[in-house]
Amino acid sequence: MPGPTPPRLALLTALLSLGLSACTTIRVDVPEPKATPQAFDEVPTSRSPDATQTQLALSRWWKGVADPTLQQLIEQGLAANADIRVAVARVKEARTVVTMAESALYPTLEAYGYTGRQKVNDVSPPSLPLPVPLNLPAVNVPISSFNGSGFAAAWEVDIFGARRSDADAARQAALAYEEKLHGAQMMVAGDIANNYIEARSIEYRLQVLDRSIATVERLKRYAQGRFDAGQATRFDVDRVQAQIESLNAARAPLQSLLSARLRRLAVLTGQQPQALKALPSPNANAPADASVIPMQLPSVLPSDVLERRPDVRGSANVVRAMAARLSSAKADVLPKFYLGFLSNDGRLEIGSVPSASSSFTAWGAGVRLPIFEGGRIAANIKASDARLEAAAAQYEQAMMSALEDVENAYSARRALDQRAQQLTQSWQTARDGADHADKLFQEGSGLLQPVLEAQLSALQRQDDLIQAQTARALTTVLLYKAIGGGWSPP
């Protein structure tokens, strides 16, 4: 008849049976974000029938610009920009963390070995309490040696999914870092385009400024001639001279701003700030004004934007990571089960005595159940739940901000389209007036001063138009960024 079960073994058996009977994974409900609109108010509802082609156009939207210099700068920046390299390194680090977290799901296996020698010389015999002194000789113990090797294995059985939740959290965090990389690519492409647009715009404005200065200097010579002939006053000459000085004063700030844009372009493309001294001459196919961004805009739906925006995608990954960490925290209140295995082979030799060898194998199972933790586990669960709540709110905010960005960008683009159109008409009208005044002067029916003043007015309208075209181009880049263009999904 078998004897009574030892108390410890009975407790272990009971806890193991309880854990196996409750073998479930802790589930956490992820908060649902608010419903998104079906369409934008400011965006046309028509969509391209080829969705794949639309995605490709968004991924590399600068390929649609007839300007090889802009394309080359953006591609160079995507390959060499420091912010992108940092983001790539962060992704690599996050992926190694995933490997570390997943390794906890598997048993650990270790091999070990040992060897040694021992010698004790002149071992004196113990003193014996005898009435007669007894002198015994010292004993010379021979050298003893020993060696052995073995294996050890251990495994925490992930019954309640704590380790799986940790691995899921690490995977979602790695995906969030990948979205940060995509966001860095999108921002770098947009920043390069913005600085390039402004640099080209300044070049065009400097050209207009040079023509304006030349026209005013011609007007001064005309006013000076009339003054010398007694047909004009000194005020007329001084007024034109003040206009020349005002135009010349506008050159230095524009030159400084152009240099700043060139230095920024150099840094964005991974070069030294002094590397880019000037932009190459515009390509023959490139627009002859500041409209370096294509006019045709993609038509998207809110769902398209939320699927493409890296910040929205990354926020969703963070929510899932926080949910997995909450699941892991809740699993801490449940028992943890362990399995262990040990195998050893050893040998002992003492002098000329035949060697003795031994081997043994041991295995066991254990369980650990938290009884008192001073409130640590409960506090960790509450903190994890709060992090999930914050992540869900940030995700919802990212969604709403993304939709707002698209609406604002489309609205601004439409307003700037109207402004550019009106300024184009104004410039054309002023230019026609200057041509008409020049024709009258050539025919002897008018004076030179109205001709020059009309030309100056036309040049001022052209400068206004260039600035409007620049604002429209910058808004177009902003729109592509708002849509989530500038990175390629894997």
In this predicted structure, what is the pLDDT of residue 262? 97
pLDDT tops 50 at residue 272: yes
| Mean pLDDT within 329-349 | 84
| Structure confidence at residue 447 as a pLDDT band (50, 70, 90) | confident
In the chain, the number of structural domains is 2
Using one digit for the tens of pLDDT, what is the confidence trace for 475-488?
999 999 999 999 87
Six-digit token pair at 8? Answer: 């410890």
Whichever domain contains 43, its CATH number is: 1.20.1600.10
Q: Are 284 and 229 contained in the same domain?
A: yes
Residue 344: which domain range? 107-118+139-157+335-368
In this predicted structure, what is the pLDDT of residue 18? 47
| Mean pLDDT within 229-237 | 85
**Residue 409 placed within a domain:** yes
Q: Are 146 and 196 contained in the same domain?
A: no
Using one digit for the tens of pLDDT, what is the confidence trace for 102-119?
999 999 888 878 787 766
| Mean pLDDT within 35-56 | 68
Q: Are 363 and 461 contained in the same domain?
A: no
Using one digit for the tens of pLDDT, what is the confidence trace for 361-392?
888 889 999 988 889 999 999 999 999 999 99
Q: Length of the chain in residues, anyone?
A: 490
**Residue 127 placed within a domain:** no
**Residue 230 placed within a domain:** yes
| Structure confidence at residue 22 as a pLDDT band (50, 70, 90) | very low
| Mean pLDDT within 406-429 | 93
Q: Are 249 and 303 contained in the same domain?
A: yes
Q: Are 210 and 305 contained in the same domain?
A: yes
Which residues are paired to 150 by β-bridges?
112, 344
Q: Are 42 and 145 contained in the same domain?
A: no
Q: Are 237 and 317 contained in the same domain?
A: yes
In this predicted structure, what is the pLDDT of residue 3? 46
**Residue 16 placed within a domain:** no
What's the chain's average pLDDT?
A: 84
**Residue 70 placed within a domain:** yes
| Mean pLDDT within 315-342 | 93
- Using a cut of 0.85, tell me whether the model's pTM lies above it: no
Using one digit for the tens of pLDDT, what is the confidence trace for 56-71?
678 888 988 888 899 9
Instruction: For residue 19, count other CB atoms closer than 10 A to its CB.
Output: 18
Q: Are 475 and 426 contained in the same domain?
A: yes
Whichever domain contains 151, its CATH number is: 2.20.200
| Mean pLDDT within 186-198 | 95
**Residue 132 placed within a domain:** no
